[in-house]
Amino acid sequence: MPELICRTAGESHGRALIALVEGLPAGLPVNVEQISHELRRRQGGYGRGGRMKIEQDGVTLLSGLRRGVTLGSPIALQIVNRDFRIDQAPEISRPRPGHADFAGAMKWLTTDCRDVLERASARETAARVAAGALTRCLLDEFTIRCVGFVAEIDGVRAAVPENLPPGDVVAARDANEAYTPDAAAAERMIEAIRQAKVDKDTLGGVVEVRVFGLPPGLGSCMSWQQKLDGRLMQAVGSIQAIKGVEIGQGFEAARLRGSQVHDAIHFDPAQRNAPNFGFVRRTNRAGGLEGGMTNGQVLVVRAAMKPISTLLQGMDSVNLKTLQPQRSDYERSDVCSVPACSVVAENVVAFEVARAWLEKFGGDTLREVRAAYEHFCEAVRRLPQDAGGASA
């Protein structure tokens, strides 16, 4: 079974964005509307700029399907840009602090930052959302739910109970433009974004993703490259403007004692047929991961997003052509992209979870993947009678 991988191509104002996904099994029904729905959610959220009023993102699948079902071959997904003007877009010679402009101009030996920003732009995340939403068709087959939401903006923190069912999280989140399940916090977040726009400034925040229904054992402790927590942090940390990623208690765990950090294990026979096989925790401080592997609890990943680098008021910079001080260029941008970032993070996490799923239960067809998972479940439930480790 080939590894599940994704490559993206395209520029912010190029003709289109492309995601090429390889490694999905044959026989998987694909919900194209679900993919387009995630793309539309990414375009929304309070604080978005004028670009999202131009684009109407939807996905076209160019290969890898027949009658809506995967063939096992690579799948190409296309998102057309309506604002296609890369050749006519003006040069940018005054790099914006915080963006890829300056570093990229030095790397590729140019004084025109346009070439760099076209690829570095967060517009690229539309392709990653499409790829993640595609793999969620696989996760749906096994009742695995990925839910992302805004946890904090401008110091306003959302209160979202740990035991809130996924359906309730989604319903509450989708009821407001802040994309947070906390209605009271949503009002304050929106007001903060509104004020930042008046001040010609930008805001960052924190997004959270929860994954429900995972069994223990995804990922591995046998090599550092296979540890799922590390892979998730790399995937989420590579999203534009993300400056920090944590799992479970994250950085807070470093400030506490072990008795306040680790999750005691209990066994509940009534939950033997649940994804956790009856092994339950009263707390989930580890965020569903121990030793680089899922432990049957809800997977919890958070990411810190810095404020958007493009400020309407500008910042001190240097003209790369004249080497004289100037204010930075302004390129049409958002005031706050944290709500949109929660959609990106949700789908990036989904893709990485699907990768781990296929590594453990992979097969050339969905039927084989399902059979492998069912065999694993049966084997776990026979423990300790059939215990014997790798030598059995």
Name which of 158, 209, 147, 203 is nearest 181 in CA terms: 158
Show the tokens assigned to 175.
């009821």
Contact 328, 117 (CB under 8 A): no
351/139 Cα distance (integer angstroms):
9
pLDDT of 314 reads 79
Residues in a beta bridge with 242? 305
Please report, as a single letter, which amino acid is at residue 369: V
pLDDT of 53 reads 58
- Kindly state the average pLDDT of the residues 373-383: 95
Start-to-end C-alpha separation, the chain: 24
- Kindly state the average pLDDT of the residues 237-243: 97
- Kindly state the average pLDDT of the residues 211-231: 97
Contact 80, 60 (CB under 8 A): yes
pLDDT of 187 reads 97
- What percent of the chain stands above pLDDT 90? 88
pLDDT of 56 reads 79
CB atoms within 10 A of CB 111: 14
pLDDT of 114 reads 94
* Residue 314 φ then ψ, to 5°: 75, 175
pLDDT at residue 389 greater than cutoff 60:
no
For 5-391, CATH number?
3.60.150.10
The reported pTM is 0.94
- Kindly state the average pLDDT of the residues 93-117: 95
Contact 76, 30 (CB under 8 A): no
pLDDT of 83 reads 86
Residue written as token pair 């790369």? 320
pLDDT of 391 reads 47
Name which of 206, 202, 143, 214 is nearest 180 in CA terms: 206
- Kindly state the average pLDDT of the residues 271-281: 94
The helix/strand/coil state of 366 is helix
pLDDT at residue 64 greater than cutoff 80:
yes
pLDDT of 332 reads 63
pLDDT at residue 304 greater than cutoff 50:
yes
pLDDT in tens, 22-39: 999 999 999 999 999 999
Q: What is the mean pLDDT of the chain?
A: 94
pLDDT in tens, 350-372: 999 999 999 999 999 999 999 99
CA torsion sign, 138 to 141 to 142 to 145? positive
Show the tokens assigned to 91.
């040069």
pLDDT in tens, 252-273: 999 999 999 999 999 999 999 9
Contact 294, 353 (CB under 8 A): no
